[in-house]
């Protein structure tokens, strides 16, 4: 269970680094802003600072999960699981908020929330079962 949880936490972290890249680095590229349902370059320019900030939230969650993975692997499970549960739990909650924002966001919410949900559930089982 521990290894599976760590793998899902890693995948969630990598996905959130990718989201950071889109929101904070490539936001004004048509391929990126269209992915976020914007309809014009002007809208991308108008929302650029908001996306930039949001991207860093995603990066910080990813970094927290990655540090947690390393901590668990290095023999500091209390620190590691705390970081994994906080980071992946926040990713999961953000995905639930996205899903509640409307039907057109359900696919994105599922992509964003599945791996952190698996990391949390399997992590809780690993901790509870001592495996």
Question: pLDDT by residue (tens digit) across 24-72?
Answer: 999 999 999 999 999 999 999 999 999 999 999 999 999 999 999 999 9
pLDDT digits (tens, 9 = 90+) for 2-34: 999 999 999 999 999 999 999 999 999 999 999
- What is the pTM for the complete model shown? 0.93
Residue 130 pLDDT grade (very low, low, confident, very high; cuts 50, 70, 90):
confident
Cα–Cα distance, 6 to 71 (Å, whole number) = 11
Cα–Cα distance, 98 to 41 (Å, whole number) = 23
**Contacts for 34 with CB less than 8 Å, ≥ 6 apart:** none
Question: Is the per-residue pLDDT at 131 higher than 90?
Answer: no
Burial class (CB in 10 A: 0-12, 13-18, 19+), 58: buried
Q: Is 29 left (phi over 0), alpha (psi -120 to 50) or beta?
A: beta
């Amino acid at each position: 269970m521990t290894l599976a949880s760590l793998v899902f936490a890693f995948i969630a972290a990598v996905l959130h680094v990718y989201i950071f890249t889109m929101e904070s680095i490539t936001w004004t590229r048509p391929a990126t802003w269209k992915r976020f349902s914007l309809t014009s370059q002007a809208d991308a320019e108008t929302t650029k600072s908001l996306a930039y900030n949001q991207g860093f939230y995603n990066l910080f969650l990813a970094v927290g999960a990655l540090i947690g993975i390393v901590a668990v692997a290095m023999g500091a499970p209390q620190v590691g699981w705390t970081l994994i549960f906080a980071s992946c739990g926040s990713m999961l909650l953000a995905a639930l908020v996205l899903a509640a924002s409307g039907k057109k966001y359900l696919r994105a919410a599922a992509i964003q929330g599945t791996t952190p949900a698996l990391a949390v559930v399997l992590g809780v089982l690993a901790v509870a079962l001592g495996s």
